Amino acid sequence: MAMDHMNIATISLLLLLASTAHIAQSADFDVQSYGAKPGADIAQALTSAWKKACAAGGSSKVVIPEGTYKSGPVTFEGPCKGPIEVQLDGTLQAPADATPHKGGGWLVFLRVEDFTLSGTGTLDGQGTNSYKANHCGPNVNCDLYPTSLRLDFITNGVVTGITSKDAKSFHINLFGCKNMTVEHVTITAPATSHNTDGIHIGRSSGITVADTTIATGDDCVSLGDGSQDVTIQRVKCGPGHGISIGSLGKYKDEQPVSQIKVLDCTITGTTNGVRIKTWPASAGAGTASGIVFKGIIMDNVANPVIIDQGYCPYGQCKAQIPSTIKISDVTIQDINGTSATAKTIQFICSKGVPCEDVKVSNIDLTYKGSEGTAKTVCENVKPTVTGTQNPPLCPEGE
């Protein structure tokens, strides 16, 4: 009889523990429960909901329901006690003022593991006034405007479903991240907006950007130093400046860029297609290697494929000094469509460290403009050429 009572007690305890564990496994923290109201600034409610969710055991979720809310800058800091998700179903508006914030972020997620940002909602950077005041192109000493979404030192993360519009500066910035996916995201800003890169990746590894639409006034996707094992696939890009590796070589102690794949993308009406760019008079001897551009459709794109090792906007460098960034092991394959300029492929490599192991296969780019016949440019490189080549790649053997 005592044994029966023990069994019943044991079973009851196990059922209680299982029930408690189930509760701990999933919990929602709606910002409206922390005082958030449509039309009001919900920065404090966001902070409170995040802190509660981050401290909870098991999986947790911060929910921003449908409606339009305002928020000043917020930092969501980890580590958290378990996997955490932010579900954005409403519209979150940044302050509309045009005051620079010295390169900070509007929404910053910092040192979080097993993180998800999901939903059908919108991050509205309200950057219209900033575009008019932004002179950061020619003015190298200007204060930068805030990035809409900064993801710093995130491990095992996903950003999916959301829209980012009218960021004051970059829309999404990944720095120091590992094993992250950005997918099914929509990014928009006027073609005339300054420095509004769609997604910037720096010093991060194991990154995938997929099935995403980006239309901005700058690079759709840009990759800075230290970007390694990055795949960009099925991205629709345009308007903007295309998909860029770099610029590299502006700063000292930059980390290598390697194993970058840009696959099955469509680029429309941009000022560049796929690009590698490095500064002359480079600050260090960096490298970019293991790069693949494959299956890209160009639609009226200026400079569809370009390696530019003389990148020097607004005369901000000593252009006569060759770049010291070594570019090698580059594959360019299955590039089709139309060019907006006569120069369809340009390899302008450094005479100090010429490009090596550049392989080109199956190129079909047509040009029907006033600049004459479509042509290609090769400087300080001897590419390996196979398959279709329209126009012929550097027929003079330069």
pLDDT tens-digit profile of 140-177?
Answer: 666 778 999 999 999 999 999 999 999 999 999 999 99
* Same structural domain, 34 and 180: yes
This prediction's pTM = 0.92
241 in catalytic set: yes
101 in catalytic set: no
3-state SS assignment for residue 284: coil
* Same structural domain, 333 and 265: yes
| pLDDT at residue 320, rounded to an integer | 83
Q: What is the mean pLDDT of the chain?
A: 91
| pLDDT at residue 135, rounded to an integer | 64
Closest CA to 113 of 178, 46, 204: 178
The total of structural domains in the chain comes to 2
| pLDDT at residue 398, rounded to an integer | 44
Query: What percentage of the chain reaches a pLDDT higher than 90?
Result: 82
| pLDDT at residue 229 is higher than 70 | yes
Q: Which helix (H) or strand (E) holds 23?
A: helix 2-25
| pLDDT at residue 73 is higher than 80 | yes
- Say if 3 falls within a structural domain: no
Closest CA to 27 of 77, 81, 74: 81
Residue of 171, 194, 200, 241 marked active site: 241
* Same structural domain, 39 and 174: yes
Burial zone of 204 (CB within 10 Å; 0-12 exposed, 13-18 middle, 19+ buried): buried
Q: Dump pLDDT digits (tens) for 276-317.
A: 999 998 988 899 999 999 999 999 999 999 999 999 886 777
| pLDDT at residue 397, rounded to an integer | 44
3-state SS assignment for residue 333: strand
Q: Dump pLDDT digits (tens) for 251-276.
A: 999 999 999 999 999 999 999 999 99
* Same structural domain, 230 and 192: no
**Domain limit, last residue, from 206, 239, 268:** 206
* Same structural domain, 152 and 248: no
Higher pLDDT, 354 or 140: 354
Closest CA to 275 of 341, 206, 340, 347: 347
Yes or no: say if 337 and 305 are a contact pair by the CB < 8 Å rule: no
Q: Dump pLDDT digits (tens) for 238-251.
A: 999 999 999 999 99
**What does the H/E/C string look like for 292-323?**
EEEEEEEEEECCCEEEECCCCHHHCCCCCCCC
**Domain limit, last residue, from 183, 206, 229:** 206
- Say if 65 falls within a structural domain: yes
- Say if 234 falls within a structural domain: yes
Alpha helix stretches (DSSP H) within 33-124: 43-55
| pLDDT at residue 97, rounded to an integer | 84
CATH code, domain carrying 277: 2.160.20.10
| pLDDT at residue 133, rounded to an integer | 75
Buried b (16+ CB within 10 A) or exposed e, 115-130: bbbbbebbbbbbbeeb
* Same structural domain, 148 and 113: yes
Residue of 218, 219, 225, 308 marked active site: 218
* Same structural domain, 226 and 190: no
* Same structural domain, 72 and 195: yes
* Same structural domain, 195 and 243: no
* Same structural domain, 283 and 317: yes
- Say if 4 falls within a structural domain: no
| pLDDT at residue 154, rounded to an integer | 98
The residue range of the domain holding 81 is: 27-206
| pLDDT at residue 218, rounded to an integer | 96
Q: Dump pLDDT digits (tens) for 39-51.
A: 999 999 999 999 9
What confidence tier does 16 reach under pLDDT thresholds 50, 70, 90?
very low
